[in-house]
Structure 1
C-alpha cells in the first residue's frame, strides 16, 4: 500500500518508519526544507512517559488569572487576545469543567506514555541512533509542603496504573540529584526512574535518514493546497513548492493518507473535512554547553516554582519553559529567556554557559482538552496523528505504532476512545 504522510516532525517521521517497517511504500510531504525543523527543533529534551497530563485541567483554570498577572509565572497571553485565542480558551474551559473528563484523559495519556516507553525501547534496541539518549529518570521538585502533598496525590494514580515511581524526601532527592545541594527551597520530590531524555531534533533527523535508506521518499519544500476526493475516499493531494506560489500544482496519488502536520493540521484538516481545533501554544528554550558537569542535573529536573524544565543532553543543558497564547508570533522577548535562565541558575548555578546558549521559540499543537488526535478521519482512508501539545516527543513512538496498527486492520495496543478525532464535533 502506498501511504502519504503529511509532516516530517518527530510524529510524522516515526509514523513513516513504523509504516515502512510493515512493508508499505511511504512518501513524506513536508513544507520546510528538512525533517524536525518546527516544534521538534528545540523543545524540551525529556521523554516523560510517566509525566503526561491533559491541558484542560480544573486546577490550571483556577491558577490561570493569577499566573497571567505574575511576571515569572508559566502562563502568558498576548493582549488583546485574538478570536482564535478566545475560542481556544472557551473550549478549554468547557472541557476542564466537564465532570470526570480530566481524570479519564490523564489515565489515557499515562497509558499511552507507558506504551510509548515500550515502543522507544524496541526502536532503540533495533537502531543505533545518535541523539544524546539517556534513561536516568525524571524528577519533579516540591519546594513546600503544599506541593509535596499534591505530588503524593499524583503518585496515587501512578501506583494504580503500575507506573514505577519513588516519593523522596529532601535528603533522598539530593542523593539522586546532588547538584541541587543548598540551592533553593526543597521539601522533597517525585522521581520517575523509567523516564528518559534525548534531543528530539537529532533523533528525527537520524530516523529520517534511516527511513530514506529503507526506501521512504521525502518531498521537502512542498505544501498541500488541495485534496482530490471521491465517494468518501481521498484519491490524491495537490502540492505546490513553498518557494513558488505560481507553480502548477503537482498531484500525489496514494492509497491512504496520514496527517501529522502539527500546528498546520487545523488548516489541512479542513481540506479533508476534519475539524481539528488545534492551537499553537508557544514555548521557549535555551540550550547551553555545560561548564561543570558536577553542577548540572543528571537527567531531567522540573522546578515547581517556575515550571521550568532542566534536561541534560550529553555535554549540553536544555532549559525550557512557558505556555504562551500568542498565535504564531515568533518573537522571543528577552524577559522570557531571563526567567528561564534565572530558574536554572537558582537550582544549578555554574552548571552551564548561558552566555553561549542558543535560544528558540516554537509552537506546540495543542487540542483544547489535551489528548492528541489519533485515529481514523471522516474519509475512509484518512488517518490523523496530531495535536500532541507539549508531549509530541514523548508520545510519538506510541502514536506511530497505533496508526500503523489501524491501517493494517489490527486492534490498537491502546484503547483510542479518548483520542478519537470526532470528539470535537462537526
Structure 2
C-alpha cells in the first residue's frame, strides 16, 4: 500500500520507519524545512518508559492554584486565558474527576511505555543512529517525606506491572548521582534503570535519513490544505500547497496517518476527527559541560522545581514548566532564571551557563493525558498524535501499533485508553 504520514516529528518519522519495514510505500508530508524541528527540537531528552502518567491527575488539580501563583511554580497560565485554554482546562477537570480513570490510564500508559522500550531496542538493532544515547536510567528525587511517600506508592504500581525500579535512601541517591549538591534537601528517590536518554532532534533526523535512504519520500515545506474523498466518504487524496501558498498536485494514497502534533486538532477537523489537543508550552536550556564531574550521569528529576536534568554527551539540558499560552513563542527571562536556579541548586558548576541555548516548544496534550492511537471515522485514516510530554518515549510503540492496525494485525496492546472516539 501507499501510505501518507502527515508530520515529520519523532512520532511521524518512527511511524514512517515502522511502515517502511513492513514493505509499504511511504510518503511523509511536513510543513517545516526538515524533520524534528518543532516539539522534537529540544525536549527533555528522556525516554522515560517507567515514568509516564496521564495529564488529568486529581493530585495535580489540588496543587494547580498554588503552582499558578508561585513565582517558580511549574504550572503557568497566560492571562487573560483564551477560550481554547479554558475549554481544555474544563475538559481536564472533568476527566480528573472520573473515578478510577487516572489509575486506569496510568496503567495503560506504563504498559505502552514498556512496549515502547522493546520497540526502540528492535529499531536500534535495525538502524545505527548517532544521537548522544545513554542508558543510565532515571532518578526521581524526593526532597521531603511527602514526596517520598508518593514515590513509594508509585513503586507499588511499577512492581505490579513488572517494571524494574529501586527505591533509594538519600545516601543511595548520592551514590547513583554523586554530583548532586549535598547541601540541598534530599530524603530519597527512585531509580528506573530501564529508562534512557538522548537528543530527540538528532534521533529524529538520523532516522529520517535512514528512512529516505530506504525509499521513504519526504515532502518538506509542504502544507496540507484539504482532503478529497471518494463516493463512500473515504479519503482519496490530500490537497497540498507550498509554504507560500502555491497549490501543488493532490497526493493520493491508500491510507493516511495523522502525526502532526499540535497541528492535529486543525487538520483533524478537515478529516472529520475531533481531537481536543492543546499546545502545552515548555522551556529548555542546553549548555556545554564545564565540569563533567559535577554533572548528572543520566536523567534526574527535581521534585522541588519540577524540572528535568539530562546529560547529553558533553552537554547538559534542563527542561521545565507546563504553560498554557496558545502558540506564544516568547521566552520570558523569568522562566530561564528558574531553570538556572534549579541547575545551581543541584548541579552547580556543571555547565557553562553563559553559553546556554534557550528553547520553547509545544507538547500536543490531550485533556485526559493518553495519546490518540487508532482508526479514525473513515477506515483509511489513522491517528497517532497527542502524546503530550512523552512523545519520544512512546513513539516507537505507537508507530508499531498503527502499523499493526493498518495491516489488519491484532494490536500488541489493548487500545481502549487511546481510542480516538473517547472525546465524543
Structure-1-length-normalised TM-score: 0.99
Matches within 5 A, 1:170-189: 170-189=170-189
Corresponding residue of 1:233: 234
2:326 paired residue number: 327
Does 2:223 align with 1:223? Answer: yes
Unpaired runs of at least 5, structure 2: none
Residue 391 (structure 1) aligns with: 390
Query: For residue 272 of structure 2, what is the aligned residue in structure 1?
Result: 273
How many residues of Structure 1 are paired with residues of Structure 2 in the alignment? 423
Mean Cα deviation higher: 272-281 or 173-182 = 173-182
- Kept in 1, the 8 Å contact 2:47–2:196? The answer is yes
Work out the CA distance in 1 between the residues paired with 2:165 and 2:255.
40
Deviations 1:185-240 (A, max 9, x none): 11000110000001000000000000000000000001101001121310000000
What is the match of residue 115 of structure 1?
Answer: 115
Distance 2:350 2:6 in 1: 40
CA distance in 2 between partners of 1:128 and 1:345 (Å)? 36
Aligned counterparts, 1:214-363, within 5 A: 214-230=214-230, 231-242=232-243, 244-245=244-245, 247-363=246-362
SS in 2 for 1:378: coil
Deviation at residue 69 of structure 1 after TM alignment: 0.5
1:248 Cα offset (Å): 2.8
Please name the residue that 2:143 is paired with. 143
Whether the 8 Å contact between 2:181 and 2:345 is mirrored in structure 1 is: no
- Post-superposition offset of 1:249: 3.9
Q: Secondary structure of the equivalent of 1:310? A: strand
Deviations 1:117-161 (A, max 9, x none): 001111112221000011110000000111111110110100000
Report the Cα distance in structure 2 between the residues aligned to 1:72 and 1:51, rounded to whole angstroms: 23
Tell me what 2:83 maps to.
83
Tell me the equivalent position of 1:5. 5
Q: Distance in 2 between matches of 1:70 and 1:53?
A: 24
Q: Does 1:103 align with 2:103?
A: yes
Q: Are the aligned partners of 1:113 and 1:395 in contact in 2 as well (CA < 8 Å)?
A: yes
Corresponding residue number in structure 1 for 2:196: 196
- Preserved CA contact (<8 Å) 1:20 1:26: yes
Give the Cα–Cα distance (whole angstroms) in 2 for the partners of residues 160 and 370 of structure 1. Answer: 21
Taking the TM superposition and a 5 Å limit, the aligned residue runs for 1:8-157 are: 8-157=8-157
8 Å contact kept, 2:181–2:348: no
Residues of 1 paired with 2:355 and 2:247: CA distance?
Answer: 45
* Structure 1: runs of 5 or more not aligned: none
CA contact under 8 A between 1:119 and 1:398: conserved in structure 2? Answer: yes
Structure 1 SS opposite 2:179: helix
Within 2, Cα distance between the matches of 1:66 and 1:145? 19
SS of match in other structure, 2:400:
helix
**Does structure 1 residue 382 correspond to structure 2 residue 373?**
no
Q: Distance in 2 between matches of 1:385 and 1:232?
A: 21
Q: Distance in 1 between matches of 2:162 and 2:277?
A: 31
* 2-structure distance, mates of 1:361, 1:309: 15
Q: Is the 8 A contact 1:232 1:380 kept in 2?
A: no
**Distance in 2 of aligned mates of 1:127 and 1:28:** 19
Distance 2:207 2:114 in 1: 21
Aligned with 2:359: secondary structure?
strand
Query: How far apart are residue 250 of structure 1 and its match?
Result: 2.3
CA displacement 1:91-116 (0-9 Å, x = unmatched): 00000000100000000000000000
Compute the displacement of 1:173 (Å): 0.6
TM-score by length of 2: 0.99
**Contact 1:183/1:348 (<8 A) preserved:** no
Secondary structure (helix, strand or coil) at the match of 1:179 reads coil
